Amino acid sequence: MVKNICCIGAGYVGGPTMTVMAYKCPEIKITVVDLNQKRIEAWNSDNEHMIPVFEPGLAEIVMKVRGRNLFFSTNVETAIDQADMIFMSVNTPTKEYGKGKGMAADLKYIELCARQIGAVSKNDKIVVEKSTLPVRTAEAIHSILDNTGSGVKFQILSNPEFLAEGTAINDLLNPDRVLIGGQDSPEGHAAAEELTAIYAHWIPREKIIHTNVWSSELSKLTANAFLAQRISSINSLSALCEKTEADVTEISRAIGADSRIGNKFLTASVGFGGSCFQKDVLNLVYICKTLGLEEVAEYWDWVIKMNDYQKHRFADNIITTLYNTVSGKKIAFLGWAFKKNTNDTRETPAMYVADILMNDLANISVYDPKVSEQQIFTDIAHVNGKTDEDNQKQLSVVADPYEACRNAHAIAILTEWDMFKNLDWKRIHDSMMKPAFVFDGRNLLDAEKMKELGFYYKGIGK
């Protein structure tokens, strides 16, 4: 019976996942550790606005279980030493150097974790891969852990996370399925059963799927690739709709009513963002290339190319519509996060759209209800490589949506925050340069109402 769990990585996955696990398993002590001391201090804050991950419902549960059976700490070694089961939930970004640059997953943090677990452990442990990993990573972890010379035995399980940000708590409490990949051996089965017993505290056993380790690892990449592919497919058609009389929302509704297709993930947008889709598809492409499967690699690569095309198309459309130049014009950005109800900005389309418009010398004024000014400057610097001082000449972040829009030539909606629907759009129209343009990258607003108010309104795929 597992009594003591350690999770390495207190990020968007590790934090919420362990919070829900601690909430549902009061008899298990869970310690979430991270190298980043500031992050751990924030998780330990008594002010719920300081919790580093914004997720609806998360802070309330943290306040209930923290100090009861959930702990956040930077003392990685002690937590590893005391644990029966260790979750690895560190980040696996796309590699930015050397072999596989721009495509392969960078596994240096995973390797570091494995080495640390190997060095510290004095008794047998189950190690669970939570981070998205390329197929056969478990093998690499195995080879590190099997060669520590300490005699300690490790079982490696793959247990990929399927939560989506913004709905993480609900996804964790009511998942469609839990996937556990383990070795086909008595010890492997026993380890998988230990983990199953934990989830069975709140998830019906028939929803817990067991596979071998490789299938589990590949299923995570496949699930994200299929979801991303649906968005790229509908986005490709949004371009066609814009050239014809068809309306992409009507198409989504019509095809989504076919139960074989289903109605989810068919919303055309400025493009998908987030830490997972691009990284995981690129990773799949890289694996296929490495294995000589050129056609398969190329097939999936188009999901990414279509997403890049969509972001460019959106930005180009703004420039073309504003009489072929945005030089010196003020463009208001409503939203910066990659989707609503999160403060996460990784791979957000907003930063790429901003970069294109800034190259055309636009002045951008950003309002987002949850993303900090500092984060927005970090993001844009990541794309264009410029200093904050240089970027400040063209980009400003404001705390009020009306201020962002005042005297703007155009508004671009980049995130589908509910609050944008309820703004006083008449007041905004009155305060803008005329004609007042709105480019709705999320098809969030009521087109007819906006046109009645006098806006030139352009949605996606309309």
Quick one: DSSP state of residue 102? T
Task: For residue 129, give both structure tokens.
Answer: 């891969």
CB contact set of 373 (below 8 Å; sequence gap of 6+): 397
β-sheet with 363-367: strand ranges across: 395-397, 363-367, 330-334, 410-413, 437-440, 456-458
How far apart are CB 402 and ligand UDX at their closest, in Å?
25
Residue 327 CB-density burial (10 A; 0-12 exposed, 13-18 middle, 19+ buried): exposed
Of the pair 163, 408, the CB lying nearest ligand UDX is at: 163
And the tokens for 37?
A: 């001391």
Residue 228 makes CB contacts below 8 A (sequence gap 6+) with 272, 277, 278, 280, 281, 303, 304, 307
Question: Which strand (E) or helix (H) includes residue 225?
Answer: helix 213-243
Please state the closest distance from residue 185 (CB atom) to ligand UDX, in A.
Answer: 26
Set 55, 129, 161, 194: catalytic member: 161
Nearest distance from C-beta of residue 410 to ligand UDX, angstroms: 21
Nearer to ligand UDX, 304 or 408 (CB): 304
Q: How far is the CB of 222 from ligand UDX (least distance, A)?
A: 11
Alpha carbon distances (Å) from 143 to 107, 129, 148, 317: 14, 15, 9, 52
Min dist. Cβ of residue 382 to ligand UDX (A): 14
19 versus 267: smaller Cβ distance to ligand UDX: 267
- State which residue, 133 or 380, has the beta carbon closest to ligand UDX: 133
Active site residue 161: yes
Q: Are strands 178-182 and 208-212 parallel, antiparallel or unpaired?
A: parallel
Q: Which residue is nearest to ligand UDX (CB)?
A: 11
329 annotated active-site: no
Least distance to ligand UDX from the beta carbon of 418, Å? 14
Q: Is 276 a catalytic residue?
A: yes
Residue number with CB closer to ligand UDX (276 or 332): 276
Interface residues toward ligand UDX, by CB under 6 A: 8-14, 34-36, 39, 89-92, 109, 112-113, 130-132, 161-165, 224, 227, 231, 265-267, 269, 272-277, 338-339
Exactly one of 220, 311, 329, 340 is catalytic; which is it? Answer: 220
> Which CB, 278 or 363, lies closer to ligand UDX?
278
CB burial of residue 447 (10 Å; 0-12, 13-18, 19+): middle
> Taking every pair of C-alpha atoms in the chain, what is the biggest distance, in angstroms?
74
6, 7, 276, 405: the catalytic one is 276
For residue 435, cis peptide bond before it (omega within 30 degrees of 0)? yes
Residues with catalytic function: 161, 220, 276
